[in-house]
Amino acid sequence: MTNSPIDRMFDPPGPRGRRAIRLASIVVIALLAGLAWLVLYRFGKSGGLDRQAWSIFESPNVIKLLGRALYATVRAALLAGLLALVWGTALALMRLSRHRWLRTAAAAYVEVTRSLPTLLVLYFTILVLPFYGLRLPIYGQLVLALTITNASMISEVLRASMLSIPAGQLEASLSLGLTRPRAFWYIILPQGFRAAMPALVAQLVYLLKGTTLGYVISYEELLYSAKLIGEYTNFILQSILVVTAVYLVLNIILSRVSIWIEQRLSLRGAAASSKGK
Amino acid sequence: MSFFAWPYWGMFASGLLLTLQVSALAYAGALVLGVIGVMCRTSRILPLRWMGTAYVESIRNVPSLALVFIAVFGLPQIGLTMPLITSVVVMLAIYEGAFACEALRSGINCVPVGSAEAARALGLSNRETLFYVVLPQAARSVVQPLTNVFIKTVINSSLIAIVGLPDLTGIAERINIREAEPMLFFGVGLAYVAIALLGGLLGGYIDRKVRFSR
């Protein structure tokens, strides 16, 4: 069970405290059950639980549509993630560069794009860029907008993790005769990536959530398809709830992977430091 | 065209006002939900703890736009209608509340166990330890994370443009659909950057004011 730091700070409750907690638990469970029943009752009374409302998800066409939408969502998130990783790495390296103008330019770019809503960037790519003759397919527009905002977040993560690498690593590489770019490429960057791995996987959760913006450009991802199915069958609440559950499952898996990597890394770190002693 | 003759100042100002209003309301709601959530998650009553964990873990892993759609398109189907702006603010507050809860929990995690032990060794009761030793330290370390939640709330409030409300992002879209006005995008972008910058500065100022001098 999730344990809270409060447990470590205070003594475990005595017999009287335990009795009070048991009583309170029963009351809370009763209240929660009542609340759940109220929601379901309300939902059921307006026909939300009818067989017919959910049978739309038995139709092979709906399932095929959702499958294609899932593929479109994952495809956009993965390509944007890959591009954002490349661009974000470049930005992070620029911010650690020795040339002041390069550092300043990258810092300004990151600070600006980090505080822009992806939706605004997306509107920019669909409304303004064509005006200057740059016409991308809608898939490309979504990926471009997601890349621009996520790259600056990834660059911040990578910069922090590279700064956390002990300075001795760079000094040692330089004194062994590596040039500065090579030292970064072979020594600092790989270690930085390893330390940043949990945060980078967590960024995928953010990207996956961001693909819902494809809705505004009619990119047929999950949420757009849910709205489509909902308008077609008049059961929009059901269809949105179903795709929300899909996002939930995908993202919880990603979050678990991120936590798992973090634990593995900290285990390895602990092993390394105990060996050093 | 001169700076003052720019025809979109009025719309720009109304968009800015709407963005600020929605984010301020949603942020206030998120703080309340975050405090309730963290109380549940650190409670000794296990069902409350499960409920808090379920809230944070589910909401954080769901797109905010899906939540907005549930409120705007889904709930009217079962006869639950709210004014558009209310449903949007409520959903944003629920979404950001999960992140506020995580920020507050990280604050409690920051408090060294030793200081609670010391407080009890000095004879403070459980209640006194919590209110005079643990919570004040936790509150001082959450200013920066909560500032980040505020900046994220402002950025996320742009979603209300999708359901047709004329916030900063909304007016940039509306005007550009009629006529190409790239300057407006730079103005709106600057406004977001300025809000994030000012919020960050204010957060940093409060953080410096309340931090313990160690």
Mean pLDDT of A191-219: 91
Residue A126 has a pLDDT of 86
pLDDT one-digit tens code per residue, A96-110: 988 999 999 999 999
Annotation: CATH topology of A58-265 = MetI-like fold (1.10.3720)
A235–chain B Cβ distance below 8 A for any pair: yes
Residue A136 has a pLDDT of 82
Contact list in B for residue A9 (CB cut-off 8 A) is 111, 113, 116-117, 129, 134
- Per-residue pLDDT at A43 exceeds 90: no
Interface size, chain A vs chain B, as Cβ–Cβ contacts under 8 Å? 175
Residue A58 has a pLDDT of 79
Per-residue DSSP letter, B202: H
Interface test with A, best of B18, B48, B57, B78 (most A CBs within 10 A): B78
Max CA pair span of chain B: 73
ipTM of this predicted structure: 0.88
How buried is residue A84: exposed, middle or buried, by Cβ count under 10 Å (0-12/13-18/19+)? buried
Residue B181 lies in a domain: yes
Per-residue DSSP letter, B118: H
Interface test with B, best of A11, A109, A113, A115 (most B CBs within 10 A): A115
Tell me if B53 and A2 make a contact (CB, 8 A cut-off): yes
Worst-scoring range by mean pLDDT, A231-235, A239-243, B132-136? A231-235
Instruction: Report the residue of chain B nearest A114, measured CA to CA.
Output: B193
User: Which amino acid does the sequence have at A28?
Assistant: V
Smallest CA–CA distance, residue A79 to chain B, in Å, is: 19
- Per-residue pLDDT at A275 exceeds 50: no
Mean pLDDT of B150-175: 90
pTM given for the model: 0.89
Residue B196 has a pLDDT of 92
A70–chain B Cβ distance below 8 A for any pair: no
Extract the tokens encoding A60: 């092979």
Worst-scoring range by mean pLDDT, A156-160, A248-252, B174-178, B201-205? B174-178
Residue A250 has a pLDDT of 93
Q: Which of A48, A215, A240 sits opposite B162 (nearest CB)?
A: A215
- Per-residue pLDDT at A40 exceeds 60: yes
Q: Which of B75, B78, B158 sits opposite A119 (nearest CB)?
A: B158
Contact list in B for residue A230 (CB cut-off 8 A) is 73-74
Tell me if B66 and A223 make a contact (CB, 8 A cut-off): yes
Extract the tokens encoding A170: 């760079």
Residue B214 has a pLDDT of 54
Confidence of residue B117 (pLDDT cuts 50, 70, 90): confident
Residue B82 has a pLDDT of 84
Q: Which of A47, A223, A252 sits opposite B63 (nearest CB)?
A: A223
Residue B2 lies in a domain: no
- Per-residue pLDDT at B165 exceeds 80: yes
**Boundaries of domain holding B87:** 9-210
Confidence of residue B186 (pLDDT cuts 50, 70, 90): confident
Mean pLDDT of B133-151: 90
**CATH no. for residue B34?**
1.10.3720.10
Q: Which of B58, B66, B192 sits opposite A120 (nearest CB)?
A: B192
- CA atoms of B115 and B28, how far apart (whole Å): 31
pLDDT one-digit tens code per residue, A45-73: 777 777 777 777 778 888 888 999 999 99
Residue B197 lies in a domain: yes
Residue A1 has a pLDDT of 42
pLDDT one-digit tens code per residue, A239-254: 899 999 999 999 999 9
- CA atoms of A170 and A166, how far apart (whole Å): 8
For a pLDDT cut of 70, what percent of chain B falls above it?
95
pLDDT one-digit tens code per residue, B19-73: 999 999 999 999 999 999 998 988 888 899 999 999 999 999 999 999 999 999 8
pLDDT one-digit tens code per residue, B68-94: 999 998 888 877 788 899 999 999 999
Residue B139 has a pLDDT of 87
Contact A83/A143 with Cβ under 8 angstroms?
yes
Q: Which of residues 144-163 of A touch B (CB under 8 A)?
A: none
- CA atoms of B37 and A33, how far apart (whole Å): 19
Tell me if B180 and A131 make a contact (CB, 8 A cut-off): yes
Q: Which of A8, A208, A240 sits opposite B73 (nearest CB)?
A: A240
The CA-atom distances, in angstroms, between A149 and each of A85, A101, A114, A152 are 11, 22, 6, 6
A215–chain B Cβ distance below 8 A for any pair: yes
Confidence of residue B150 (pLDDT cuts 50, 70, 90): very high
Tell me if A240 and B180 make a contact (CB, 8 A cut-off): no
Mean pLDDT of A142-157: 94
- Per-residue pLDDT at A277 exceeds 70: no
Number of domains in chain B: 1
Q: What average pLDDT is seen over chain B?
A: 88
* Position with higher pLDDT, B8 vs A171: A171
Which of A226-235, B157-166, B180-189 shows the highest mean pLDDT?
Answer: B157-166
- Per-residue pLDDT at B138 exceeds 80: yes
- CA atoms of A241 and A234, how far apart (whole Å): 14
Residue B94 has a pLDDT of 96
Q: What average pLDDT is seen over chain A?
A: 87
Instruction: Report the residue of chain A nearest B197, measured CA to CA.
Output: A115
